[in-house]
Amino acid sequence: MRIVVQEWQRVLVYKDGRFEREVGPGRYRLPRRHRRRVRVEVRPRLVVVPVQEVLTRDGLAVKVSLTMQVRVADARTWHEAFADPEDVMYAAVQVALREEVAARTLDELLADRAEVPERMGVAAAPAVATAGLAVDALALRDVIVPAEIRRAAAAVVTARSEGLAALERARSEVAATRALANAARMVADHPGLLQLRTLQAVEAGGATVVLSADPGAAAARATS
């Protein structure tokens, strides 16, 4: 019996129910009698772990989903050790996820989105290896916080923006008051400045100048 094994495959050969050998990529001539062949794909594949609801250290329920790059590291172990090696992998990753999230507050979880998957991969690796698998990459796909937390965060941002706007208005008012005080001080120290300002209003036009009975004082009032 001739078989061709592709680069991304391994073939397990069993004789009378007992493991005989594993063959890699290439062309082979194998005895047919009393033998069974199992093809195993070892190329990496992307696995999505659906949303899991877990509790953070500060007691908030968040929903987290993951993506994993997984491959078969040991074809024989993958085929023989468990009836469903995928279940072993999912369970190990879910336990690691719950432990990592439970060790952090919500703010820490959002800040450590790059560190959490790395630590999860290390924690889950031994259990995943017992199923003949290896997780090459792991990433947090979604972190969904409760709606009330999102509303509270939006309110905080709005309040912060309103506070900054009020602070800027107060600074502007203080600056304007300071400018008026400086102008009043200059007029008091130099009365001739008021007469110069009156002449500027007359030259600019669009203003009515009212002179009091006192020839030493004048005032300008702008008309609409």
221 pLDDT more than 50: no
43 pLDDT more than 90: yes
CA–chain centroid gap for 192, Å, is 65
Instruction: Give the model confidence (pLDDT) of 13-39 as tens digits.
Output: 999 999 999 999 999 988 888 899 999
What's the mean per-residue pLDDT of the chain?
Answer: 82
pTM for this model (two decimals): 0.63
Helices 115-129 and 85-102: angle between axes, nearest 10 degrees: 140
Q: What pLDDT sits at residue 157?
A: 58
Residues, the chain: 224
- Looking up tokens 């993951």 gives 66
Helix or strand run (H / E) with residue 218: strand 218-222
70 pLDDT more than 80: yes
Please state, as a whole number, how many other Cβ atoms lie within 10 Å of the Cβ of residue 10: 21
164 pLDDT more than 70: yes
Instruction: Give the model confidence (pLDDT) of 93-110 as tens digits.
Output: 999 999 999 999 888 888
The three-class DSSP label of residue 200 is helix
- Report the distance separating Cα 111 and Cα 212, nearest Å: 71
Distance in Å from the first CA to the final CA of the chain: 106
